[in-house]
Structure 1
Amino acid sequence: MSHTHELPAAAAWSAPVRAGRTVRLTALGDNANASVLIVGADRLDRLNIPDTLKSQMSARIKPGMVLMSDRGQALATVLDSTLDWHDCLTGALPGRLLLLELTKHGFGEADLHGCINFFSKVAVSDSASLEFVPGHATAGDSVTLRADQDLLIFISTTPHALSDLPGAGVAVQIETPEHTEDPELREEAQRALRLTRELIA
């Protein structure tokens, strides 16, 4: 199974993704931004950015990380990426397009929780504020996730909230690979994967 969908800049899309399938996001232009929300198909597990970062000792999303839910389950694993930094500290503001996608699945404004801004990077300025780093992502950059349970994925290509640059489109490719290897993971991430696999076995 393989499906590719191209989102233009300032658009949104959502899709169910079965466990074991991979989702590859590819920037179609410079300074692309893909704000991504992830929810377990059972609607009980939601992407929890604080727990994901704290348990894996990071302030960014990068290859070799498990995206965790608020119940400590593995939602998806970042298998690889051409970039070693994806922002997850600034959320998706404005979140109008993501909210429109959420409502299609029966969610509301309260479900617009913390997300990942794939292809974007922020840094702390001398005044201790977060600043967008231009030129971080260029056309062709990509990131691949593996769904570790059945998921609903929501994607918006609205430019990053801190950027004054025009955005770019993103291609989304969903595939069913024959096999995927776990990347090198921290112990906490391995534990989340084991728990999830036991529950869905």
Structure 2
Amino acid sequence: MSDAHDDADSPESDDPLAWEVTDSWVGYECPGFDIVHDEVRLPDGTETDYDYLVEPEAVVVLPFTRDGDVVVIEEWRHAVGRVNRGLPAGSVEEHDDDLAVAARRELTEETGYEADRVEHLTTVEPANGIGNSLFHYFVAYDCEDVDGQDLDFNETIRVETAEYDDLLAEARTGELRDGRAMTGLLYYELFGDDE
């Protein structure tokens, strides 16, 4: 897994606020992400260190059925110790030249649904103070349950559908807590189309 400094020659590295990386190594590796340790020099000359999470880019899918319901997943999230309601999502793989294809794959693997079409919604850096995560959001239209799930060994996912307005109400009350789902749902509500 590469670190976030592959673009060290970017224009941002010349910004007076940029930190200079004097040394960098992977401090911890596990399936799905690494923790990178950087030795850095701050703009005022102070030398310190900084650790952050490095993970592959991901796709997140907001899938609508032909009836306008949203396909949602419920999955155990060990870090918070509870079942979490969210949207289908997964890592972009090295051979994924087309992010829309990756979005279709993750939708089908996690839910068994296939989309008639998918469209890019937005791309965000959800936690760029602690990691290099990059989420590409897609809207999937006219989804149908066709194939059954094809889950990874460490995934246990329950698939449901929910009315769009009910999901918005869950976002409003705080019942929907998944950050990826909240971002996709609320971005779509503000800026997406009304299909």
Structure-2-length-normalised TM-score: 0.25
Bigger radius of gyration: 2
More helix, by proportion: 2
- Kindly indicate whether structure 1 or structure 2 has the higher relative contact order, using CA contacts under 8 Å at least 6 residues apart: 1
More strand, by proportion: 2
